[in-house]
Amino acid sequence: YPHLVGLGGEDRLFGSTENNILEGGADNDVLVDDAGNDTLDGGTGADWMEGGAGDGLYIADHMDDAVIEQVNGGFDTVRSTASNPGDPLAANVEALILIGAGIMTGTGNSLDNIITGNAGISELLGGAGNDTMFGMDGVDKLYGEDGDDNLSGGDGDDKLYGANGNDTLRGGLGADLLSGSLGYDTASYSDSDIGVTADLDTSSANAGAAAGDTFSSIENLTGTAFADTLFGHASGNVLDGGAGDDRLHGRDGADTLRGGDGNDFLDGGARKDVLTGGAGEDTFYFASTAEGGDTIADFAVGDHIALSAEGFGLESVEDFAFVLASEPMGSIATAIYNTATGSLSWDADGSGAGQAVQLATLAGAPVLTQEDLVV
């Protein structure tokens, strides 16, 4: 590439339409590029760096460095050894990378930014866009601000604040604070290399990859590729187990539970939940008829519907009848499956005197037999 290097004074360097490298020096330099995928390095002074079309890399070493970038001028990055170069990130620049071992701050702009912290202690602030932020090493603070942001703390005991928008927070290693604030936010452990126990209602119960983590205003959980146990809280939650043999407990609220791969256990809890087992032989659990009204989205051969012995007053599957009809029969508790609608109901006395309670709707009305129900 054409490579221009200043002479140590207040240099003025101008690039061409090729891919240029413009390198200033110790003083306050002016670097202006035309087009191409260029690198502009102002040096240690307070420099003016102006890019053109193409993907630009700006190397900033002074907090008063000025970066000027065109609208739609490619994907541009500022790599800085100084905190908040330009304060905030220059308009029309998409990415900021902080370099160094001390305490550093980086602030995004109105675009969808990618902001990467330094090896020390980073404080990263997004802007109006849908930002992606990486804390890296150290005890970091990440603030998503507006937009639907993705925040990853990395190593260390980090604090992640989603603020506005529907954010995804990944604490990484360490005892992290994951605070969603406004919006519908997710704590994700999908990158973890061990399983997780995560409880949105009681953070002290967190274990495995979530050990020491604290949740605040988090609505959703995403598990790992291993065996996870996920608990929701009183509001409607989305619990996604991922791969592995997972146990998902929705508690109160109209929840969405997704088992993913593996042989999963899904307990929607109170209110009307949507349960999707995914691949594997899954179990859909009902503690009592008070948990009825759920939709089982993908019941298949090998799956089971489990009824609580205590909640249904049963000792075994021999204590109730199973009929493919719309009316109960006999004087024994009866599970009634409507093969046309996929509706599974429960009549506690089997006589018809008490109204049957709907437990679940099996989407697509798959084949269901008494062997598919367990106690």
Number of domains the chain is built from = 2
Specify the pLDDT at position 328: 61
pLDDT value for 327: 64
The Cα–Cα gap between 137 and 251 comes to 35
Q: Determine the pLDDT at residue 219.
A: 98
- Each residue's pLDDT, cut to its tens digit, for the chain (375 residues) gives 688 888 887 889 998 888 989 999 888 999 998 888 999 999 988 999 999 889 999 999 998 999 999 898 899 999 999 998 878 899 999 999 999 988 999 999 999 999 999 999 999 999 999 999 999 989 999 999 999 999 999 999 999 999 999 999 999 999 999 999 999 999 999 999 999 999 999 999 999 999 999 999 999 999 999 999 999 999 999 999 999 999 999 999 999 999 999 999 999 999 999 999 999 999 999 999 998 899 999 999 999 999 999 999 999 998 998 998 766 666 789 999 999 999 999 998 877 656 789 999 999 999 999 999 999
* 188 and 147 share one domain: yes
Q: CATH code at 330? A: 2.150.10.10
Nearest to 354 by CA among 327, 314, 324: 327
User: Distance between CA atoms of 366 and 215, rounded to whole angstroms?
Assistant: 39
170 lies in the same domain as 252:
yes
Instruction: Note whether 290 and 258 are same-domain residues.
Output: no
Please check whether residues 66 and 124 belong to one and the same domain. Answer: yes
Q: Which of 256, 274, 292 is the last residue of a domain?
A: 274
Q: How far apart are CA 361 and CA 265, in angstroms?
A: 18
214 lies in the same domain as 328: no
Pair 27, 92 in one domain: yes
Q: Which domain, by its residues, includes 290?
A: 281-375
pLDDT at 238: 99
Clarify whether residues 150 and 269 are in a common domain: yes
pLDDT at site 292: 81
What tokens does 163 get? 């603020």
Instruction: Give me the residue label for tokens 């994951």.
Output: 178
For position 155, what pLDDT does the model report?
93
SS3 of residue 318 by DSSP: helix
Say if residue 11 is in the same domain as residue 31: yes
Determine if residue 349 is left, alpha or beta; phi over 0 gives left, psi from -120 to 50 gives alpha, anything else beta. alpha
d(CA 104, CA 321): 68
Q: With 0-12 CB in 10 A as exposed, 13-18 as middle and 19+ as buried, what is 101?
A: exposed
Q: Is 360:295 a contact under the CB 8 Å cutoff?
A: yes
Give the end of a domain, one of 243, 258, 274: 274
Which of 232, 255, 274 marks a domain boundary?
Answer: 274
Both 105 and 160 in one domain: the answer is yes
- 267 and 297 in a single domain? The answer is no
The label of the residue with tokens 């890019």 reads: 51
Question: Does 244 lie in the same domain as 296?
Answer: no
Torsion of CA 165, 171, 177, 183, to 10 degrees: 10
298 and 263 in a single domain? The answer is: no
What's the CA gap between 257 and 236, in Å, rounded? 10
Per the document, the length of the chain is 375
